[in-house]
Amino acid sequence: MNTASTNRRKAHRYCFYADLEIDWGPNTLWGRVRDISREGMFIEIAEWPWVNAHFSARLALDAPLPMECVVRRIVPGEGIGVTIAFQSTEGETRFEALLRALRIEIDPAAAPSLTTVDSSKTRRMSSNHYEIFRQRVFDELADLQHADRQRILIDLVQAGHRCGIDVITEIVDKQRPASEVLAEVKRKQEEK
């Protein structure tokens, strides 16, 4: 057995959910970081580029954290695994502070050199909060395949952002049915 392939991850991965704004050519895409490590992160995204594709991205914190990403693997129906690099020592410092906060299990927004998430654009939440959101949406869409539910989940969050609706708050905190929130997002999109 090849140890390199069975142990490809050397850095500890942390469960971390945050939005990621991606510059892809002339387009801006939105993805959702699912886990993160010193070496990279996994991004849930509806459309993914090819392996070895390079792109710029910003982790959606109060002060967006810019980074350069390279796609290393694609998991169809789920997203992409990327390696990351920073063009400034400030970016590296902020990223290290984020990892330290995750390592000692405090709110990353409270870590030194980090800021809280801009609630007008996105929200920082515990992994449990996101999992509740995900499960409620998946329960309502139980008749669809996992990959289809995952794509709808990502599209719902992205469309909500564009329409100014925090779908996670609506579904988890306000306990509205996902189908009702989805209908509201569609209505707002049609009004634009």
pLDDT single digits (tens) 13-56: 888 888 899 998 888 888 999 889 999 999 999 887 899 999 99
Listing DSSP states for 14-29 in one string gives EEEEEEEEEEETTEEE
Q: φ, ψ for residue 113 (rounded to 5)? A: 70, 0
- pLDDT tens figures, 172-181: 888 888 889 8
Identify the residue whose tokens are 């057995």: 1
Highest mean pLDDT among 52-66, 70-84, 130-144, 148-162: 70-84
- Predicted TM-score of the model (pTM): 0.55
Q: Give pLDDT tens digits for 101-123.
A: 777 654 444 443 333 333 333 34
Burial degree of 42 (CB within 10 A; 0-12, 13-18, 19+): buried
Report the run of H or E that residue 72 belongs to, with start and end.
strand 65-75
The Cα 110–Cα 132 span in angstroms is: 23
Domain over 9-110 is classified CATH 1.10.10.350: no
| Residue ranges of domains in the chain | 9-110, 127-191
14 close to 102: Cβ distance less than 8 angstroms: yes
The enclosing H or E element of 150 equals helix 146-163
